[in-house]
Amino acid sequence: MTRLEKGDSGNRWPQLLPGDKAVLFDAGSTANSRLTVHAMGTSQQRNLLQGGRYARYVPSGHLVFAQGGTLMAVPFDPGRLEVTGTPIPVVDDIFQSGTTGAAGFSVSDTGSLVYVSGGGPPAQHLVWVDRAGNEETVAAPARTYGTAGPRLSPDGRRMAVPVEGQIWLYDFAREIFSRLTLEGQSNLTPTWTPDGKRIAFSSMREGAQNLFWQSADESGGGERLARSEYPQYLGSFSPDGKLLVFPEIHPDTVYDIWVLRLDDLVAEPFLRTPFTEAAPRFSPDGRWVAYVSDESGPLEIYVRPYPGPGGKWQISADGGLEPVWNPNGRELFYREGDKMMAVAIETEPAFSAGKPRLLFEGRYLPTPATLPNYDVSQDGQRFLMIKESEQAEAITQINVVLNWSEELKRLVRD
């Protein structure tokens, strides 16, 4: 029904407006969101407000939405599909996810408000988790980490991680955070080159979410790698550093997988079908690509030979996301809900995969899409993961405000 505009990463949380003639929804990206309406049966789409998330129309004639942990409200005409006033804050300390922007509130047709307190998202910690599930907290400070989280440098001494739309570096021995990117917005999905000299990432600094890289020694600015009107995110480099495999979002074919040649910066499709194919990762020997696909219904993990030809092998059994190879190439990890799964891989004399087995289970920050939100140590024995602080568990109260629509009418007028 809707189509992504240039630079958008998704349309979320639709609500039919009175009369069933239009739909209210969130558009844009995590760092550049907007509230939008779409007229049913047409191609007409209108942006209402910038920066709000998780909007809902309420019968009092208002749009209510979350912005930075505050519930905002603005008068709205559902007939003309127009905002008719200025947004003002109406409730402070609303819980709002830092990953998706979803907010903990709802308003009934009779005008009652229910919400969960908590303000902004809880702080998050980086932790090492061994194959048995034992944890060791990283000395890095608690922060709100971004999409497709920590990525270890090839020598394991540093990591790259997105924080509030910028890429930061952390030195494990020196216990120092330093900022890598200094410009643009929505700098996400950092990925190290095999020699550790550069870090590639996706960014909206020149329009659509496209691919860039810059020196890992924090000198110089970012250089553009790929140019597209559609959003692109990072996958991984081939072990020789000559290729970069990445997912791109297209309005007609959803997620596709592309390969960029770094010698001439020419990108070619590797997998482009009506299904979702995402989170691509080259194997350590460069002969295989692991990825996520929903071609059979639920999202599952698959492996294909690169560059082909050849068939494909389904790796997961009951759904899977976030594939990451063991650096030794003989094992593939993925997540199934809160479970970290491992599958033994053989490539000689032919490709074969073992039975998925559970390594450990725990509540670590999941991916907001399909890309891995963790990384694996060089010896394949530890996982660098993100864990929310106990603040998230401390939310034990649900607040209900009866007849809230009357208060809303008093506070917010055209």
CA separation, residue 384 to residues 18, 129, 329, 340 (Å): 47, 7, 18, 12
Indicate if the pLDDT at residue 401 is higher than 60.
yes
Token pair belonging to 306: 């690169």
Residues 110-116, mean pLDDT to the nearest whole number? 93
Quick one: which of 297, 301, 337, 338 has its CA closest to 317? 301
pLDDT surpasses 80 at 32: no
**Cis peptide bond upstream of 349, omega within 30:** yes
Q: How many CB atoms lie within 10 A of CB 382?
A: 19
How far apart are the C-alpha atoms of 55 and 275, rounded to whole Å?
29
Which of these, 247, 248, 284, lies nearest to 380 by C-alpha position? 284
* Number of residues assigned to the chain: 414
Whole-number mean pLDDT of the chain? 89
CA–CA separation, 186 and 49 (whole Å): 19
**Separation of CA 118 from chain center:** 22
Domains in the chain and their CATH numbers?
12-120+394-411 (2.120.10.30), 124-388 (2.120.10.30)
Cα first-last separation, the chain? 31
CA 200 to chain centre: 16
Work out the pLDDT band at 99, boundaries 50, 70, 90.
low
The sheet with strand 135-137 has its strands ordered as: 135-137, 124-130, 382-388, 375-376
Q: What is the pLDDT of residue 11?
A: 87
* pLDDT, tens only, 42-95: 888 888 988 788 999 999 999 999 887 789 999 999 989 999 988 888 998 788
User: Do residues 257 and 295 lie in contact, with contact meaning Cβ atoms separated by under 8 Å?
Assistant: no
329-357 mean pLDDT: 96
User: What share of the chain has pLDDT > 90, as a percent?
Assistant: 62
Taking CB atoms within 8 Å and a gap of at least 24, the contacts of 389-394 are 389/122, 389/123, 389/124, 389/125, 389/142, 391/118, 391/122, 391/123, 392/122
State the DSSP H helix or E strand holding residue 411, giving kind and residue range, or none if neither: helix 404-411
Output the pLDDT for position 174: 93
Q: Measured between alpha carbons, how far is 358 from 333 in angstroms, rounded to an integer?
A: 10
- Residue 17 per-residue DSSP state: P
Q: What is the H or E stretch that residue 404 is in?
A: helix 404-411
Measured distance CA(91)–CA(281) in Å, rounded: 44
Q: What are phi and psi of 7, to 5 degrees?
A: 90, -10
- 162-166, 201-205, 259-263, 333-337: range with lowest mean pLDDT: 162-166
User: What is the DSSP-derived secondary structure letter of residue 201?
Assistant: E
Residue 183: count of CB within 10 angstroms of its CB: 11
- pLDDT reported for residue 182: 79
For the stretch 228-284, pLDDT in tens is 989 899 999 999 999 999 999 988 888 999 999 999 999 999 999 999 999 999 999
Beta-carbon neighbour count of residue 262 at 10 Å?
17
Question: Average pLDDT, stretch 390-408?
Answer: 78
Give the integer Cα–Cα distance in Å for 229 and 249: 10
**Helix/strand/coil for 176:** strand
Helical H segments across 185-243, by residue range: none
Regarding predicted confidence, which is higher, 218 or 277? 277
Does residue 287 come out as left (phi exceeding 0), alpha (psi in the -120 to 50 range) or beta?
A: alpha
pLDDT-wise least confident of 24-33, 202-211, 290-299, 394-403 = 24-33
CA–CA gap between residue 238 and residue 334 (Å, rounded): 19
Cβ-proximal residues to 255 (8 Å cutoff; 6+ apart), any chain = 247, 248, 249, 276, 277, 278, 370
Type of residue numbered 385: M
Closest-CA residue to 386 (of 94, 162, 104, 190): 162
- pLDDT value for 141: 85
Q: Are strands 352-353 and 331-336 parallel, antiparallel or unpaired?
A: unpaired
CA pair distance 275, 254, nearest whole angstrom? 7
**Average pLDDT value for residue range 347-356:** 94
Tell me the pLDDT tens digit for each residue of 114-140. Answer: 999 875 556 789 999 999 999 999 998
Report DSSP state, residue 364.
-
Half-sphere exposure of 196 (CA within 13 A, CB side): 9
How many whole angstroms separate alpha carbon 124 and alpha carbon 145? 7
